[in-house]
Amino acid sequence: MWHAVSAGALALVLATQAVETRACPDENNPSTPPPPTTEVLTTRDGVRFRVETVLTGLEVPWAMAFAPDGRLFITERPGRVRIVTLGNATPETALTLDGVYTQSEAGLLGLALDPDFSQNHFAYLYYSATVPSGGVNRIVRYREVNSRLAERVVLLDNIPASPVHDGGRLKFGPDGLLYASAGDASNPSLAQDVASLGGKILRLNRDGTTPRDNRFSSPVFTYGHRNPQGFDWHPATGDMWASEHGNSGNDEINAIQSGANFGWPRIEGGATMPGMETPATFFNPAIAPSGASFYRGQRFPLFANNLFVATLRGTHLLRLTVDTSTRRVTSQERLLDGAFGRIRDVMAGPDGYLYLCTNNRDGRGSPASSDDRILRLVPAS
């Protein structure tokens, strides 16, 4: 069942130490919800906020994007695109994809709306498709009309796919071009092969053609990646930053540069090798970072230009400050630690609130009865 929740009606109550004080879920009943705690949380620099539920009953939401008219587009990994008008009781089903390769982590993943969406209503998807050999990842474009997606066009096909390491994030950069993250599809050697689309960050024109200034005269923008699942551009400098799953740890935050080699599988974590980039920071034990977004809103002035990263294994929202001159992470803080389980994506909405989605029904979490959910952080007086 789907349930939309008004902004103040069901404000969730959390405790600053929720992860230490809450009871473990009932192992025989994975729908047991977490117990209630206190309402207002405070960051270490004094930002006070509450968490509100926007939508419940989703099935593994993977990516979110706001249209200029305020509607929220959401992908669900089994193959659906939902469109939500905040406050309405039921979201629209804009598309149900056929032939989705839904093994393990694969499925309908990334979503981006065209920078000129108000005029052309183009929506872009990254998904795993079933083919005779197993699966491939594709980037496709649809046109939205009356909350339905149609006029399908395949922009890029045959990106390597497997049950794990599919990457999947889609976003438009400040240059107006479409960027996608592609994992190594469980074949580490692909990451160092610039002729392969696996283990890469890709860059496309809006029609799927290759930009003339791509270094390798192909969609490949950077290489040597294992499983990048999030990226965004610093609001002040335009520098690109990305999150990436490491190998049993060594999860990375990288400052991205065109044409650069990020080392996998030859180096990872703090290792170095000539001609290869080292991460801005890395994490052991693993946190499994996914969607990443810089904060651009006005509601939280102290969050300005902070990079927020959704974590799956870490079960927290990671807040980072970055030094754009040294391209290093200068501070970090874990928010919502353990309070909502696995978090897949995060983004600032047009209202200035910070939106995130859970992924507790992805086969690796312990879902509450209301999972999966869209949540948002709002200021608390």
**What's the CATH code of the domain at 270?**
2.120.10.30
pLDDT at 89: 62
pLDDT at 11: 33
| pLDDT tens digit sequence for 185-217 | 999 999 999 999 999 999 999 999 999 999 999
pLDDT at 37: 38
Low-confidence ranges of the chain (pLDDT < 50): 1-38
Across the chain, what does the average pLDDT equal? 90
pLDDT at 88: 75
Q: Specify the pTM.
A: 0.90
* CA–CA dist 343, 182 (Å, integer): 20
Cβ–Cβ < 8 Å for 23, 35: yes
Long-range contacts of 355-362 (CB under 8 A, 24+ apart): 355/54, 355/64, 355/72, 356/310, 356/317, 357/58, 357/61, 357/62, 357/64, 357/74, 357/310, 358/61, 359/60, 359/61, 359/62, 359/290, 359/312, 361/58, 361/59, 361/60, 362/60, 362/77, 362/105
* CA–CA dist 66, 312 (Å, integer): 23
Q: What percentage of the chain exceeds 90 in pLDDT?
A: 87
* CA–CA dist 224, 266 (Å, integer): 8
| pLDDT tens digit sequence for 45-57 | 999 999 999 999 9
pLDDT at 38: 45
pLDDT at 21: 29
> Residue 204: in which H helix or E strand, if any?
strand 200-204
| pLDDT tens digit sequence for 245-271 | 999 899 999 999 999 999 999 999 999
Cβ–Cβ < 8 Å for 244, 292: no
Count how many domains the chain has. 1
Q: Which domain holds residue 187?
A: 3-379
Q: Exposed e or buried b for every residue in 215-225, given b needs 16+ CB within 10 A?
A: eeeebbbbbbb
